[in-house]
Amino acid sequence: MTDRSIPAAIRVSGARKVYTVFPNTKRTAVEDVSISVPEGAIHGLLGPNGAGKTTTLKMLLGLVRPTAGTFEVLGADARTRAGRVPLGFLPEQPYFPQQLTAAQALRLYARLSGLPEREIAPRIDELLERVGLGGQNRTKLSAFSRGMLQRLGIAQAIIGRPRVVVLDEPASGLDPVGQRDVRNIMLSLKGEGVTVLLSSHQLSEVEAVCDRVSILNRGRVAAEDRIDALLQVAGRTSVRVAGLPNGLPEAVRALTGDVAVSSGAIVFSVADIDVRRVVDAVDDAGGAILSITPKRESLEDYFTRMLEATAQGVGS
Amino acid sequence: MIRRLSAIAGAVFADAVRRRIVLAVLFFAGVLVFAIPLLPSYGIGVIGAVYREFGLALVFAASLVLTLSLAANRVPGEVERRTVYNVVAKPVSRWEYLVGTWLGIVTVMALVMGAFVIVLQGFGLLRYGQPMWQLWEGGLAIWCEMGVLAAFSVAVSSAAAPLFGVVAALTVEFVGHSRDSVLGQGGGGVLRALYPSLDTFSIVNPVAHASGVGPVYLGSMLVTFIGWAGLLLLLGSLSFGRRDL
């Protein structure tokens, strides 16, 4: 559950959505989801297909009527018109009226966002530049590539200078340079104090920018924490050494199970209590310690492991 | 609110006037105006009346096609293409989206019908030497009727498929002009007052015979138009507001 004593930019409590499928079949898309995102943070929403991520976002934005739950943005009910004033949204694979130019489309969304008329033209120029579409003001959207539409989608999401932005798969359809640009935009938004709720399949993107993540599975929050806390392997330390042409000393080999060689360095992990002994043994063998850090698994490994554990739990 | 409504209406207008169906209907209706004098029943003495009657029938038919094609497809199309997300996720109420859409459609219809009437009047003046100002009253009546039908189509298609919206609107059009057939001439009592009649907008005869209907009747016609359109858009907004997008 979310802690109401902590000020939050986004607070979803007990979200639930049950669809009635003709003739009278019920399908639960979201079982029970609670998320709290502090102001100025980037919060990741992860989960496999069908986990309930997009439905949760749609309930937050008032696009889907929840069966139960409350949805607040900066303390106001996000499902009302007034509650959406500080909110920007990038839908997954955004679509636009094809006959409009980029500037005409952004002008429309700027007016709907309530941006003062005199600010619209300079804001459009600024945003098109920021999302990498500088000079495309007069280009018809029918001539835009998938990646360009995605960039325009980001521009429309932030055109009203929102304090909270919800991004659903913002890197979808973008090449590596575009993905990097999107990451930089998210980080710059964070620098401006904007809160970002990011739903993504791109684990590297989430790992790179998010302060915290919520992992959804089967319509529930399966895990939620800081990325570091989620990925840290309790009681293990990662050690990187070099200058050992004969490999790890026997005393070290006995303490570690996972050894990898990378760019001339040997990387392995040991129990925290063995770190002192390992350092001494490497030193005695004439090797050099390059780094000692808490052991951390990749988000991809964590995510896969968690989903497998959930599947086994359901199957057993 | 006005700004949001005008922004949505402007977007609908800009999209609609680029549609091929609008240009096609305008073109063929324009061509047909020039063909009216070739009709066999055309005779000396009733020449102006027949011209006006056929002219208004032409405007009505063309407007009906345009209204239904624009109004029944707009909302389902936006939902299907998901362009609606970029609008209703902004600080825009569902009812504002629906009313803005309707305003855009009736603005397009006003433009189209204004163009029709100008062509009809211009051709009538050149060919018969009559200014035929009553055509504007007839055009206004048809525009009001199409505005009600557009409100109905928008309301229905916000919750149902476009084809259903078209069929339902045509049914309303038929039923709306069948009050006397259903209830009997002047009969029906209370039911007559509650009957969803569109007969108020049927002013072909006074327009064809050049007597016109006068400003009071035109005013009552506008009140009827606003009342029906408002009620239908209210019902549509209630329905659309509950819909998952």
Residue-wise DSSP of A151-195: HHHHHHHHTT--SEEEEESTTTT--HHHHHHHHHHHHHHHHTT-E
CB atoms within 10 A of CB B145: 26
The answer to whether the CB atoms of A91 and B88 lie below 8 A apart is: no
Sheet holding A220-226, edge to edge: A76-77, A68-73, A10-21, A25-37, A220-226, A212-217, A42-46, A195-199, A164-168, A87-90
pLDDT of residue A207: 81
Name the token pair of B188: 């029906």
Q: Which of A84, A112, A119, A159 to mutate to test the interface with B (most CBs of B within 10 A)?
A: A112
The beta-carbon neighbor of B89 closest among A89, A96, A104 is A89
The minimal CB distance from A63 to the residues B10, B14, B88 is found for B88
Partners of residue B18 in chain A, C-beta under 8 Å: 99
At residue B43, the pLDDT reads 57
* Cβ–Cβ contact A20 with B under 8 A: no
Pairwise CA distance, residues A5 & A33, whole Å: 18
pLDDT of residue B73 exceeding 60: yes
How confident is the model over B167-175, as a mean pLDDT? 88
What's the confidence (pLDDT) of residue A315?
Answer: 47
Query: Per-residue pLDDT averaged across B133-141, rounded?
Result: 89
Q: How many residues appear in chain A?
A: 316
Give yes or no for a contact between A181 and A270, defined as CB atoms under 8 angstroms apart. Answer: no
Q: CB–CB of A111/B7 below 8 Å?
A: yes
More confident residue, B51 or A37: A37
- The segment with the largest mean pLDDT, out of A118-132, A246-260, A292-306, B182-196, is A118-132
Distance CA B38, CA A275 (A): 103
Chain A residues with CB inside 8 Å of B82's CB?
A: 91, 93-95
pLDDT of residue A154: 92
pLDDT at A227: 80
The model's confidence at residue B44, banded by pLDDT at 50, 70 and 90, is low
Q: How far is CA A261 from CA A77, A241, A266, A280, in A?
A: 53, 10, 5, 20
Q: What residues form DSSP beta bridges with A89?
A: A166
Q: What is the mean pLDDT of the segment spanning B197-203?
A: 84
Looking at chain A, the whole-number percentage of residues with pLDDT higher than 70 is 96
Tell me the pairing of strands A25-37 and A10-21. Answer: antiparallel
Chain B positions touching chain A (beta carbons under 8 Å): 3-4, 7-8, 10-11, 14-15, 18, 81-83, 85-93, 96, 242, 244-245
**Predicted pLDDT at B119:** 84
- Continuous segment of H or E residues that includes residue A209: helix A203-209
Task: Check the CA dihedral A30-A35-A41-A46 and report its sign.
Answer: negative
Portion of chain B with pLDDT greater than 70, in percent: 96
**Type of residue numbered B146:** M
DSSP A63: S
Mean pLDDT of B221-239: 92
A269-283 average pLDDT score: 91
B93, HSE (Cβ side, Cα atoms, 13 Å)? 14
Output the pTM of the full model: 0.81
pLDDT value at position B98? 94
Q: Do B15 and A99 touch (CB under 8 A)?
A: yes
Identify the pLDDT of residue A316.
45
Q: Which long-range contacts (CB under 8 A, 24 or more apart) does A129-135 make?
A: A130/A155, A130/A185, A131/A155, A131/A181, A131/A185, A132/A178, A132/A181, A133/A102
Which of B15, B82, B90 to probe by mutation at the A interface, max A CB count within 10 Å? B90
Residues B244, A96: C-beta atoms closer than 8 Å = no
Average confidence (pLDDT) over A246-270:
85
* pLDDT band at residue A198 using 50, 70 and 90 as cut-offs: very high
Structure tokens at B58: 């032409």
Residue contact B85–A91, C-beta within 8 A: yes
Per-residue exposure over B195-230, b if at least 16 CB sit within 10 Å of its own CB, e if not: bebbebbebbebbbeeebbeeeebeebeebbeebbe
SS3 A138: coil
What integer is the mean pLDDT of B19-39?
Answer: 75
Instruction: Tell me the chain A residues in contact with residue B244 when contact means C-beta distances shorter than 8 Å.
Output: 19, 58, 63-65
Residues 6+ apart with CB under 8 A from B110: B143
Contact A63 B244 (CB under 8 A): yes
Q: Looking at the DSSP assignment, which residues form a beta bridge with residue A242?
A: A288
User: Residue B14 — very low, low, confident or very high, per pLDDT cuts 50/70/90?
Assistant: confident
What digits encode the pLDDT tens for the residues A42-80?
Answer: 999 988 888 889 999 999 999 999 999 999 999 888 888
To the nearest whole angstrom, how far is the Cα of A63 from the nearest Cα of chain B?
5
**What does the alpha-carbon distance between residue B71 and residue A225 come to, in Å, rounded to a whole number?**
48
Give me chain B's average pLDDT, please: 85
pLDDT of residue B106: 95
